[in-house]
Structures are given as C-alpha cells and as structure tokens.
Amino acid sequence: MLPVTLYCVTITLFDVTQNPFVYGEVVPAAAFVDRVEELQRLIQDLDAAQKIFLISPRRYGKSSLIRRALATMTRRGAITVEVTVSSFSSYVAFLEGYARALAAAETTWDRARSWLREAISSTRIDVGADSRAVAFPNARTERDVSRLAEEVFTLPARLAQTRRRKVIVALDEFQAVAGYNGGSVEHALRAAVQHQRDVGYVFAGSEPSLMERMLSPRRPFYKAGPVMRLEKIAAEEFAAFIDGRFTRSGMKPEAGLGAAIVELAENLPYDVQRLAHETWDEVRGRKRRRATLDDLHQALKRLLAEHQMIFEAVWQHLTLTQRAALRAVVLEGGRGLLSADVRVRHRLGGPSTVQRALAALVRDDVVTRDGDRYAVVDSLLREWVARQTF
C-alpha cells in the first residue's frame, strides 16, 4: 500500500469590503467628517425653533449636515420636513411641493387630504388618492398665487398645532426663491415664519453671494435669525479621517496618502470623498491591501480620462478670454490675477477685461471667489486644465 501524503492548502481571499467613502449623495453618519461644532449648534438652534440661515459654498457638505441634524430632531420627537427649493420649475410648483411634503407628515394620506383641504381655502386643491400628488390648478394670476402662498406658508404652524409636536423645516438651495417671484416670496415667508413659535427653520443656500444679499438691510430676512457659514474642514483632521477609513476597511495607507488626497481635492468634502473613493477602488481592483500614492495618481488619471468629454465641452463653451482667465486661476493659484505681470504672462488683456471674464466664470459656476482668491469649483476640472490646455 502506497503511503498517502496529505497537503493542507490555505487559500487567502481578498476582503471585499464595501467602499467606505461616499460622494454624489448625502453622506451617511459613518462617512460624515468632523463638523461636530456646526452640527451641535444647528441642532440646538432648531430645538429652540430658531430660524437659521446656513450659507455654504458648493461641495462643503451642507446637505449632509442638514440631514444629520434632521435625523437627530426626528429621534427627539419632532416632525421634520425637507424641501429642495431649486428642484421646482415655478413658484406654484414650489408651493405644491412644499404642501405635499408637509401633508406627507400626517399618519395616513386620507388624513393628509382632509387636513390640506381644511387649510387651503383660497383656491381649488387637487390631492391624489394614491399618488400623493398635490396641485393648485386654478392658481394662475399673481394675486391667486400670493393668496395661496400665505396659506401654504402657515401650514407648518398648523401641523405643529394639530400634531402637538415641534416641526422642523429645511429649505435647501433657498436662494432659488429669488427666481420665482422676486422679493414677494421672501416677504410672504418672513411674514409667516416670524409668528411660528413651534417651528424651526433652516434656510440653506450654496450661492453665498445671493444668500448674503437676502440677509442685507432692507430685505425681509434681515436679522430674522442666526447665520451659520460653513468653512472648510481642518486639513489635518480630514487627512487623518481618510487614513483611518482606509485602515478600518482592511487597507494600510502609505504615509501621507490622506494628506495628498486632501491637497489634490483642495480640501472640498465632495472632491476629497470622490478621490478617496476612487483610490480605494483602484487598490481593490488590484487585489492588494496597501493603498499607495501611486494608486492615488492612477485613480486621478482614470477619473480625468472618464471626464475628458465633459471637460472638453466646458472648455469649448468658454470664450477665448474666459479660457485664458481660467488657466490663470489654475496656474496662479487664483491670486493676483489683475496684476500687470500675471496679465502679461497669461496674455489676459486689461484689468476690466479680466474682471468681466472672471465674473462670467463665477456666474457659470466654473469658478468661485473667496475674498481676493479665485478657485475652480471642480478640482478635477482644475487638474484637467493644468494638464490638457495651453
């Protein structure tokens, strides 16, 4: 009988963990970075039924912050309602969506339909039986809409009274009301909310200049409530968070990886999460457990290739003067763009020409301005301009 040799074969499987970095959607609690003080302040003010104005540039994590605050208030027993103002195509559509969101807080849709019909008397209201649709088909004239708005804007207070619970309303992208009916929307809302003692509001906007104008003297919301302005997260804390998320997911980050991601993404929460997410995917795709700076650069290279057509379209849309100004923003770090040497170096023309080009780039949301510094809104576009244009 031949001897039998037994071999023990150990197979190590790569740990396919869910990507710990989230972008392109509201960030869940586990992936939420810092903002401890801002979150605590927002919760405290909402709990006191304050009317808060939250001002934040795009990609700073404003919506995620709001969602976390609302989740806390829900756990405390409040009714929370969130509406993105910019998602509606008209003032009436906004009023319909606002009414629908508030009515949805009722326990059943049948009760919501009855509640709405009791609250809205100025015009006919169509409330769907199953689709939860709300429409005001007869609100056609400016006077009709004005009377309707007065009733819709009192709904949060009626809901608080009916349910005997605190109500929290978040109106995201609030600056969009300026496009509906000028200052009349602000006047109507201000007149309603100033009497609502059991309703907390957060009016949030991602166009700081527009929001600041809405809070200026002679505007309805002047001194209407506390103002919060989101700043960038401390770069060191963000870098440590990124390294920590890599580690907890089973990947060992190379020293300085988190800091490099934060720097490349210009410390913008959305861009940082995106670059970290794609770097993590790069490492997983290679079935390795160590994330390196080379993985980061490979992920960046892949992202730039994937966005090539989009960025080319943006570039082609710009005038020659705007292209030159955009390249100057990228290559000069956004500073000193009106100085003579910068204008000569980038062939920008006179100061007024540069100012007009920069104003157009800001208006089209390609570039943002913070004090005396300009920056490209999308850090990937910044890298593309630096590498692909001349």
Q: Render 236-276 in DSSP notation, one character per residue.
A: HHHHHHHHHHHHHTT-EEPTTHHHHHHHHTTT-HHHHHHHH
Quick one: CA dihedral 282, 288, 290, 295, positive or negative? negative
What confidence score (pLDDT) does residue 188 get?
94
SS3 of residue 337 by DSSP: coil
- Helix axes of 320-331 and 351-363: crossing angle, nearest 10 degrees: 90
* Structure tokens belonging to residue 52: 């808060």
Cα separation, 259 vs 239, in Å, equals 5
pLDDT digits (tens, 9 = 90+) for 33-52: 668 899 999 999 999 999 99
Can you tell me the distance from the alpha carbon of 119 to that of 142, in angstroms, rounded to the nearest whole number? Answer: 20
Please tell me the distance from the alpha carbon of residue 268 to that of residue 164, in angstroms, as a whole number.
41
Report the CATH architecture of 35-229.
3-Layer(aba) Sandwich (3.40)
Question: Hey, what amino acid is at 389?
Answer: T
> What proportions of the chain, in percent to the nearest 5, are helix, strand and coil?
55, 10, 35
Of the candidate ranges 20-24, 139-143, 304-308, the one whose mean pLDDT is the lowest: 20-24
pLDDT at residue 31, rounded to an integer: 57
Residue 332 pLDDT class (50, 70, 90 cuts): very high
Q: Is the dihedral of CA 23, 29, 31, 37 positive or negative?
A: positive
| Torsion of the alpha carbons at 230, 231, 237 and 238, rounded to the nearest 10 | 80
Three-state DSSP at 279 gives: helix
pLDDT (0 to 100) of residue 1: 40
**257-299 per-position pLDDT tens digit:** 999 999 999 999 889 999 999 999 999 999 999 999 999 999 9
Q: Which top CATH class is 308-388?
A: mainly alpha
Mean pLDDT of the region 87-116: 91
> What pLDDT is attached to residue 176?
94
CA distance 358 to 361: 5
On the question of pLDDT at 19 being above 70, the answer is yes
Please, which pLDDT band fits residue 6 given cuts at 50, 70 and 90? very low
Q: What does the angle CA 127 – CA 132 – CA 137 come to, to the nearest 5 degrees?
A: 35
In terms of Cβ atoms closer than 10 Å to its own Cβ (0-12, 13-18, 19+), residue 120 is buried
| The pairing of beta strand 126-127 with beta strand 134-135 | antiparallel
What is the Cα–Cα distance from 223 to 324, expressed in whole angstroms?
41
Separation CA 139–CA 347 (nearest Å): 54
| Paired strand residues for 370 | 373
Residue 69 vs residues 46, 97, 138, 142, 201: alpha-carbon distances, Å: 8, 22, 37, 36, 12
Is 306 a residue whose pLDDT tops 90? yes
CATH class in words for 235-306 = mainly alpha
The DSSP letter of residue 378 is S
Q: What pLDDT is stored for residue 109 in this prediction? A: 82
Q: Where are the domains of the chain?
A: 35-229, 235-306, 308-388
The mean pLDDT value of the chain amounts to 90
| pLDDT classification of 128: cutoffs 50, 70, 90 | confident
In the block, tokens 């031949």 appear at 2
Q: Is the per-residue pLDDT at 98 higher than 70?
A: yes
- Name the residue with higher pLDDT: 240 or 6: 240
Tens-digit pLDDT profile for residues 175-226: 999 899 767 899 999 999 999 999 999 999 998 888 999 999 999 999 999 9
Give pLDDT, residue 387.
96
Cβ–Cβ < 8 Å for 201, 227: no
Q: Give the per-residue pLDDT at 130.
A: 67
Q: Which two tokens stand for residue 131?
A: 């689709």
Residue among 46, 96, 91, 307 at smallest CA distance from 187: 91
308-388 shares the fold of 35-229? no
Q: Which of 79, 100, 52, 1 is nearest to 224 (CA)?
A: 52
DSSP codes, 61-103: SHHHHHHHHHHHHHHTT-EEEEEEGGG-SSHHHHHHHHHHHHH
